[in-house]
Amino acid sequence: MRLLPRFTKRHAIAAAAVGALTLGALAALPATNAMAAAGCSVTYTTNQWTGGFTANISIKNLGDPISSWTLGFTFPASGQQVGQGWSATYSQSGSAVTARSMDYNGALGTGASTGIGFNGTWTTSNPAPTSFTLNGTVCTGTTTPTSPSASATASPRPSSSPSPSTPPTGQTPVAANGQLHVCGVNLCNQNNKAIQLRGMSTHGLQWFANCYNDASLDALANDWKADLLRIAMYVQEQGYETNPTAFTNQVNTLVDKAQARGMYALIDFHTLTPGDPTYNLARAKTFFAAVSARNASKNNVIYEITNEPNGVSWQTIKNYAEQVIPVIRANDPDAVIIVGTRGWSSLGISDGSNSTEVINNPVNASNIMYTFHFYAASHLDNYRAEVERAAARIPLFVTEFGTVTYTGGGNVDISSSTTWLDLLDRLKISYANWTYSDASESSAAFRPGTCAGGTYAGTGVLQESGNFMRTRIRTADNF
């Protein structure tokens, strides 16, 4: 059966989505007349290369709650300059730097923290600032400026360890596995052990941003015990093309939130209509250059460079991949990159083809995997048989699947979903379920209206698909 564009329904719900966002709500806002914080502490850490550096800043409010903030500091050396930044709006006058909060991270309660950062340049030296102000008040709490390494390298590639400002602790998925890589047909951890990641995909950030807050991501990490958050950033459909800076910042913030909880973050360049990925080639290069430079020091990031190519040949997809992958590799040579496949990422099955075209003509790059998507009520034994055949030859990652029909709706097919997940478990194929949202469709994990409240943990807020997926994901990992 042809895999038709199930997203017709998914897009139609945008108008009725709870808390649907306007473009203005996504854009950076100037600081308001927020109460000055009575105290604060700052951690400033950097990685540098010849002439450039990445700075990550953790801000903790030790005073009264504030609704927005302005962080100020002064570069100690001449020639230090802020370049591209994230999670704040930056300005610089001489050596004085000001960073203003975005709409989504301005509110800081007492004891609350947020992370921001930027890529910068330097000329003769690159010492760290030692004094910071928050809303005009000097931070009297502990500040931890960390000077960059004295050794400079020719590559703008920082260390592959997580940012020191938000290290995963305990036996989180990232703490247990570290930097992932592809070995043979498997996804492997830092100990070269084949592993499987299990998690959830967001819905479109332009429609369901209110579903991805600290409480919901705490529930995903701690109650669901998920390994993975897939961040579905639509390019069209009121997505990235309307405000590239705002959507890039939104993605980076979710990467940080996943990192802080020890989960892997799968950055999904969610192309669908038009189905030819080369239509968005320039946008893809711009986006992935930005997010790979910004997140190169993290070991929890995986890149999905095109969601569901359709109406094009495998050769077209391959050509696109071989132009986008070098952009990521220039900044982040170690990260796993996932390439979409023909026929809505069905390995060509939904176009009447199969995985042979990929096996015989693979992408000319290393450390990559190939995408497979399915919807359990629509895609049955013939799809499963092709996955089993392909998995013996090429590394697969199920970056999206549903327990329902390809429309995103209909009855939850527990039997087929169970058969699918048993197969993926046996083959150690990682997966993300569609969707961790409260969309008005049966594929959504949460009951409609959940994201307008504050409760996400437990089964009381879940639909049938969410209950099923929570139970499957909560079973012990084999790391």
**pLDDT confidence of residue 159:** 31
Catalytic entry in 237, 308, 386, 441:
308
**pLDDT confidence of residue 143:** 64
Paired strand residues for 49: 52
- Residue ranges of the chain assigned to CATH 3.20.20.80: 170-474
Q: How far is CA 424 from CA 348, 369, 421, 428, 461, in A?
A: 19, 15, 5, 6, 27
pTM of the model: 0.69
- Residue ranges of the chain assigned to CATH 2.60.40.290: 40-145
Phi and psi at residue 438, in whole multiples of 5°? Answer: -115, 35
Q: What is the CATH number of domain 40-145?
A: 2.60.40.290
**pLDDT confidence of residue 442:** 97
* Secondary structure of residue 399 in the 3-state scheme: strand
| Contact between residue 233 and residue 239 where contact means Cβ atoms under 8 Å apart | yes
User: If phi over 0 gives left and psi between -120 and 50 gives alpha, with beta otherwise, what is residue 344?
Assistant: left
| Contact between residue 92 and residue 74 where contact means Cβ atoms under 8 Å apart | no
Opening angle at CA 399, ends 396 and 261, nearest 5: 115
User: Percentages helix, strand, coil for the chain, rounded to the nearest 5?
Assistant: 30, 25, 45
Residue with tokens 């527990």: 414
Count CB neighbours of 319 within 10 A.
16
Give the distance, in angstroms, between the CA of residue 273 and the centroid of all CA atoms in the same chain.
21
Report the alpha-carbon distance of residue 238 to residue 21 in Å, rounded.
Answer: 10
The stretches of 41-148 forming alpha helices (DSSP H) are: none
Tokens of 230: 């897939």
**pLDDT confidence of residue 146:** 58
Tokens of 255: 């990467």
Report the alpha-carbon distance of residue 387 to residue 400 in Å, rounded.
Answer: 14
Tokens of 45: 């850490």
Report the alpha-carbon distance of residue 230 to residue 198 in Å, rounded.
Answer: 10
Burial 442-457 (b: 16+ CB within 10 A, else e): bbbbbebebbeeeebb
**pLDDT confidence of residue 18:** 31
170-474 CATH fold: TIM Barrel (3.20.20)
Count CB neighbours of 478 within 10 A.
10
User: If phi over 0 gives left and psi between -120 and 50 gives alpha, with beta otherwise, what is residue 401?
Assistant: beta
- Per the annotation, the verdict on 357 as an active-site residue is no
- Per the annotation, the verdict on 308 as an active-site residue is yes
**pLDDT confidence of residue 458:** 95
Give me the half-sphere count of Cα atoms (radius 13 Å) on the Cβ side of residue 243.
16
**pLDDT confidence of residue 56:** 79
Positions of the chain with pLDDT under 70: 1-38, 48-49, 104, 141-170
Catalytic entry in 237, 357, 386, 400:
400
